[in-house]
Structure 1
Amino acid sequence: MVELMGMLFGIYIIVFGMLILKSYLDFNNSDYQLASNHTFWQTFFNKGNMGEYNIYRTLEKIKGTKLILTNLYIPKEDGSTTEIDLVMITKFGFFVVESKNYSGWIFGDEKYRNWTQTFPNKKKFKFFNPIWQNKGHVKALKEVLNITDETLMQSYIVFSNNCELKKITVTSPNVSVIKRNQMRNRVKRDLRNLAPKITSEDIKFYFQILKPFMHVDDKIKQLHIESIQEKLGQFKN
């Protein structure tokens, strides 16, 4: 029995090592580290970073002229910041992504402030409508880029593959609420249905405007966290 357990443990170590190696090689073939400043280990062992990386990698593999940014801290009119997980700039406009690494069953309606996360043990948790959340991101993005054309913005709420979107109601034509494994096909579909609106030079121009908002210092990040915690406190009350 001891020998069998030892053999099984050895097989597990080998398989795990192969998975790590495969992930490491794929990571090195991506520009994610350059865009995010997250190393492989900071990404692989952090659920939030890993979810973001998987989305980035999906977008990265889609053909066509594009530039992708991550973790943008965009200033708002009230002096605070809003954090955008990912933005892909294409000739067809901006794909603004809010990543949600949630499990369980997800229920939500675009017109309601609160959505619900439910687990098999019947525990339920409320969370702020991510469509509204990303709408705020889009608003801040439009302001900093001086863009007024709403049709240039596509809002993507991307949930983890570990959840089940049970009942989601979306009414806006430029909003998608999907799981990560649905993203590639949804983006490709939208790219086929949209008409080109900006040039390759425009893409570079907008990228250069947004680039300074990526690798912000710890002070800005801390102020952003404190602002979120304050809003969560108001939300719970």
Structure 2
Amino acid sequence: MKGDGPTTEIDLIMISATGIYVFESKNYSGWIFGDEDSRNWTQSLKGGKKYRFYNPIWQNKKHINILQKHLEIGSEVFRSYIIFSERCEFKKMFVRSPEVKVMNRNVLTREIEHDLNSLADRLTIWEINKIYNKLGRYALADAQTKQAHIDAMRWRN
């Protein structure tokens, strides 16, 4: 979803009274090194192979910025969850922003429950329904839209 330009693909959005949770999922293994301020993170595999990838916090921040503009809602409503598979271990992972969480998939339920039970309500049921209806039209992209997004990502990279 973007204005008249290229599209962006958001893995998952959860709308709750405590806010809008935006999830970016990574199916990586090995050791993961990164922090909030670095453009790229590193995946280190057995045998010494290393791969760099774009900071998923920044990636999700772009998603949130687009949602913010589209929904005309302030940033205080959004929570960013970066989810990695259980097959990876975080090394030197520094995240200081309270609205951003980086975790393995096996602790996701616990973290969501914690936030749902501890954060103040920010959205009414009326606002939740309005957001849901506004985003609903983007939820199930057709095959042509998905392929256009994949092609655009290949072209950019």
Identify, as 1 or 2, the structure richer in helix: 1
Q: 1:219 aligns with which of 128, 144, 147?
A: 144
Give the 5 Å matches for 1:108-147.
Answer: 108-147=34-73
CA-based RMSD: 1.2
Cα offset, 1:191, TM superposition:
2.0
Distance in 2, matches of 1:217 and 1:86, equals 17
Distance in 1, matches of 2:48 and 2:3, equals 38
Cα offset, 1:76, TM superposition:
4.1
Q: Percentage identity across aligned positions?
A: 45
Look up the SS of the partner of 2:122 in the other structure.
Answer: coil
User: Match for residue 103 of structure 1?
Assistant: 29
Q: Is the 8 A contact 1:76 1:82 kept in 2?
A: no
Structure 1 runs of 4+ with >3 Å offset: none
Which sections of structure 1, spanning at least 5 residues, go unmatched?
1-73, 233-237
Q: Higher relative CO (CA 8 A, sep ≥ 6), structure 1 or 2?
A: 2
User: Match for residue 44 of structure 1?
Assistant: none
User: Match for residue 113 of structure 2?
Assistant: 188
Give the 5 Å matches for 1:159-174.
Answer: 159-174=84-99
Residue type at the aligned position of 2:103: I
Residue type at the aligned position of 1:121: G
- Judged with a 3 Å threshold, the aligned counterparts in structure 2 of structure 1 residues 76 and 121 are, in CA distance, closer, same or farther, namely farther
Distance in 1, matches of 2:75 and 2:115, equals 15
User: Match for residue 158 of structure 1?
Assistant: 83
Distance in 2, matches of 1:165 and 1:222, equals 32
Distance in 1, matches of 2:92 and 2:100, equals 16
Distance in 1, matches of 2:33 and 2:16, equals 31
Cα offset, 1:219, TM superposition:
2.2
Distance in 2, matches of 1:76 and 1:181, equals 35
Which sections of structure 2, spanning at least 5 residues, go unmatched?
none
Distance in 2, matches of 1:160 and 1:225, equals 22
Distance in 2, matches of 1:89 and 1:124, equals 36
CA offsets per residue over residues 72-115 of structure 1, 9 Å max, x none?
xx1246x1111000000000110100010111110001101010
Residue type at the aligned position of 2:24: E
Give the 5 Å matches for 1:18-37.
Answer: none
Tell me if 1:210 matches 2:132.
no
What TM-score, normalized to structure 1? 0.64
What TM-score, normalized to structure 2? 0.95
